[in-house]
Structure 1
């Protein structure tokens, strides 16, 4: 772990670089570096986890003076001799990076690992599936706010249903859950009956179970009580902080809640391309309850999604930002609102604001896998791929059956690090590669010199599609630093058999 204090003191890997005193200390004794090497280490420390181009380092250490790369190589060699070969990483054709983690993402360590299985819908009406799934997902989100319980994400938990006891040990082996929460929901109009059980997977025994009834929006009081009951049985001491943080302004209409859940189900479906259908449901939810903050948040998300390919206009993104702001004003303690606002700000290339909102989301819900994964993606866009990979790996641990985009974001961080083969392996997991996936995959193959495979990926992009691989690489990914866009474009240009554009590579 690395720590920086007021840009004057940097601690990483057992070493302390004190700029005020001009010293470098190891775990046991002071270390000596010649002035140029010390200057280079200082710049690398100030850019911890970022790939610093060779030209930038040479300008820092030898401003206005022409020197060969040999001078830089010799100084890097001196730094490595002092602090270890692995601490300064060479990224092929790009530069060097001080390979220390700027911070740790939340540890899950020895905490109880809980999976909330998909609840049974006992009403007999398929239209109630959204309410049933939403009820279970709200329990996941409520539990995840506690730093003392690790809750596996929806994608992994919902891969199993609350059915046969004989399947419980199999669930333990597949996703590593120590405890399961299973149950059922029956809805009749405004009347809801929920049954919930807590299972110890090691012994396949029930630790606790209860049955609840409510009318209308009393459903949320049930969720709160269930979360409190579960957490109190899994940890020795439970504070109310998580529950207080989880409290939200009750919606005034169960119908609005159901409409929003149905809309979000459309956004979750990877085969669903009708974003307008989801928008219509969120707009209907707002019409039912104009104070329903989460409906504004989801509407903002639906309108911003085209931003992944740089297709959303400034006007659309500004509208999404305003909707997300409205959602946060109505539900300020909802992590989802800050996570969506972070995504909108990222598409707007407001990277500082995007990270600000992402950190608030993680403070509100530090064990939400999607938020952890999104932080990794954001850090990649900010030019900090090493730090990003730590967050992405943590998200994958919490969601072992994670959705496909986790690996696609991980692949981009690996590409930025010059790890082209593992990046390609991650992208190859796509069952139906979209044009942007094929573009990234072609860039990986080209950087590895596998030109036939690179050209094949480019050829598979539909010529009639307005998608342009080069335009996507240069403008379609919301990188903060032009050098990162140029690096991706370099691979694409190689795959196309063209000379790199000015400033690329």
Structure 2
């Protein structure tokens, strides 16, 4: 092609790609393919048509499109992400946008750095986000109801010069929904994440103590209804990492971050804390709190009150008093409880779960009025049953009922103890009505409890209310977006879609859950049943084959031992039908 024959034009280029597509294809090939084809047909192509975009080409997991106007390109990108966020699809897209000179080939194909930069920006975008070049930004800034966050100069692969980029953020009227970028939009009340406290004691064995301090402060803050508090499981994913608080704010969708450290020596404790505004990086306050071990709860209260005074000074006195409730008067029992939590959070580890149960029981022996320890002990039985380590014998059911009853009697305003007891009663003791009442009560006490929303989601499934279950799992994932148990929340969402007859969506959510936890039996069961009901028998048979390796005794006739207490007989029958079609023997 001679220079005279080369055709060039200025174009706005949109590049889109599915996050984690390869892994999803490995887990559920047919379901993932069907879901993405539906996404292109029902969302991407109609949006391009509305905004006068031209589809250049599609790949297995992405698409390239051309627009005459960068304004139209950004509007299309926002439209796609906005609709995807409000849909039931488990997919997240990354989108990159660039305005540049492109070469037009004889077949209408476009080439050049104008295309390459858009593709590289897409790769650098947040999951669920939009990243635009400075050229696009200069054309659209001030013309759309969205905001922009400078991401600095990006050194893009195979692009000679760095490209200054901007992430699209929610605007004044919230036209970009909460999955438009990696971080959901800020809630309409002060929002905070408490990072793991550093152990300054010089003794690795004291790590559990530093973790316990941070967790207790999270619990105290979460009792304030005036605040939005990220759950422990998500904030603790930053443990041991050098973090940028601005990035933490983006990833968790919070305005404030509390950092701190704990030094325990002999009978003395020092807690330091600093509160940072994630939007600006400004330190709002920093202080240290010293006292004896017997003063530990007072020190925690001082940290909590300092945070609340800085970010939400107008709170009710009743909330302040509730946040000051001491879990126990026994420091020995409290120490055992913290050690139990450290073991409990070693997920899917039978030996650690058994040790956690022993420690919680020991804590209640030392302090028979320790409500949280009873609730945590009950939750150990839930984990054991869900992993197939126990079969819920009459003695085990009686013990779970005893633990739950004690936790509720002693912790009348302890939302965590009540929520844990409610799920244990419903799942292990099969007291569905009693468990449902307790999870609802826990949510009324503390709307910041991701554990309560998560447990309440499963209870809603068992009650035959899958639409409400989807809402509860979504709330749990918002409160704890990086939770190690998010796979269980995704599996719960898959169950909800399954019982609504949405088998493709159910299979996709199950594949998402199995992406990070291939041995998750809850996800394998619902994935197998969903694919079978959707007619994808090969995928269903593969899931059942793996499921039977993990649990050789599983049969259609024994499903009730691992499934929850479904109130609607037709739900259990549908589940059995799906797994029967998937090849699970009778």
TM-score of the superposed pair, with normalisation by structure 2: 0.63
Aligned residue for 1:370? 451
Greater Cα shift, 133-142 or 466-475: 466-475
8 Å CA contact retained: 1:439, 1:469: no
Aligned residue for 1:343? 423
Structure 1 residue matching 2:276: 3-state secondary structure: strand
8 Å CA contact retained: 2:233, 2:482: yes
Partners of 1:195 and 1:394 in 2: how far apart? 31
8 Å CA contact retained: 2:532, 2:540: yes
8 Å CA contact retained: 2:533, 2:578: yes
Aligned residue for 1:256? 333
CA 437–427 in structure 1, closer or farther in 2 if over 3 Å, else same: same
Aligned residue for 1:277? 355
Partners of 2:186 and 2:464 in 1: how far apart? 26
Q: CA deviation at 1:142?
A: 1.2
8 Å CA contact retained: 1:436, 1:469: no
8 Å CA contact retained: 1:304, 1:317: no
Aligned residue for 1:321? 401
CA 231–249 in structure 1, closer or farther in 2 if over 3 Å, else same: closer
Structure 1 residue matching 2:535: 3-state secondary structure: coil
8 Å CA contact retained: 2:263, 2:270: yes
CA 183–163 in structure 1, closer or farther in 2 if over 3 Å, else same: farther
1:407 matched to 2:520? The reply is: no
> What aligned pairs does 1:230-245 form with structure 2 within 5 A after superposition?
230-245=307-322
Partners of 1:300 and 1:131 in 2: how far apart? 22
Partners of 2:225 and 2:194 in 1: how far apart? 17
Q: CA deviation at 1:475?
A: 4.7
8 Å CA contact retained: 1:473, 1:492: no
> What aligned pairs does 1:52-131 form with structure 2 within 5 A after superposition?
109-131=187-209
CA 192–453 in structure 1, closer or farther in 2 if over 3 Å, else same: same
Structure 1 residue matching 2:287: 3-state secondary structure: strand
Partners of 1:458 and 1:393 in 2: how far apart? 28
Greater Cα shift, 388-397 or 192-201: 388-397
Aligned residue for 1:426? 509
Structure 1 residue matching 2:469: 3-state secondary structure: helix
Summarize deviations over 1:95-138 as a string: whole Å, max 9, x none: xxxxxxxxxxxx98411221111110000112111111111111
Q: CA deviation at 1:145?
A: 1.4
> What aligned pairs does 1:159-198 form with structure 2 within 5 A after superposition?
159-161=237-239, 167-198=244-275
Aligned residue for 1:487? 574
Partners of 1:279 and 1:370 in 2: how far apart? 18
Structure 1 residue matching 2:237: 3-state secondary structure: coil
Q: CA deviation at 1:457?
A: 1.2
Partners of 1:266 and 1:484 in 2: how far apart? 35
1:450 matched to 2:536? The reply is: yes
8 Å CA contact retained: 2:327, 2:371: no
CA 358–497 in structure 1, closer or farther in 2 if over 3 Å, else same: closer
Q: CA deviation at 1:254?
A: 2.1
8 Å CA contact retained: 1:190, 1:215: yes
Aligned residue for 1:438? 524
Aligned residue for 1:496? 583
Q: CA deviation at 1:268?
A: 1.9
CA RMSD of aligned residues (A): 2.3
Q: CA deviation at 1:495?
A: 0.8
Summarize deviations over 1:175-197 as a string: whole Å, max 9, x none: 22211000100111332110011
Greater Cα shift, 404-413 or 320-329: 320-329
Aligned residue for 2:475? 394
Q: CA deviation at 1:250?
A: 5.2
Partners of 2:555 and 2:524 in 1: how far apart? 9
Structure 2 residue matching 1:366: 3-state secondary structure: coil
Structure 2 residue matching 1:177: 3-state secondary structure: coil
Partners of 1:255 and 1:311 in 2: how far apart? 33
CA 472–139 in structure 1, closer or farther in 2 if over 3 Å, else same: farther
Q: CA deviation at 1:367?
A: 1.1
Structure 2 residue matching 1:115: 3-state secondary structure: strand
Structure 1 residue matching 2:260: 3-state secondary structure: strand
Q: CA deviation at 1:406?
A: 1.3
1:459 matched to 2:545? The reply is: yes
8 Å CA contact retained: 1:293, 1:328: yes
Q: Which runs of 5+ in 2 are unaligned?
A: 1-184
1:353 matched to 2:434? The reply is: yes
Partners of 2:197 and 2:447 in 1: how far apart? 24
Partners of 2:452 and 2:294 in 1: how far apart? 27
1:216 corresponds, among 275, 282, 293, to 293
Q: CA deviation at 1:304?
A: 4.3
Structure 2 residue matching 1:312: 3-state secondary structure: coil
Q: CA deviation at 1:488?
A: 0.8
CA 304–453 in structure 1, closer or farther in 2 if over 3 Å, else same: closer
Q: CA deviation at 1:463?
A: 5.0
Aligned residue for 1:288? 366
Q: How many residues align?
A: 392
Structure 1 residue matching 2:189: 3-state secondary structure: coil
CA 467–208 in structure 1, closer or farther in 2 if over 3 Å, else same: farther
Structure 2 residue matching 1:460: 3-state secondary structure: helix
Aligned residue for 2:345? 268
Aligned residue for 1:417? 500
8 Å CA contact retained: 1:253, 1:289: yes
Partners of 2:572 and 2:482 in 1: how far apart? 30
Q: Which runs of 5+ in 1 are unaligned?
A: 1-106
CA 424–464 in structure 1, closer or farther in 2 if over 3 Å, else same: closer
1:330 matched to 2:407? The reply is: no
TM-score of the superposed pair, with normalisation by structure 1: 0.73
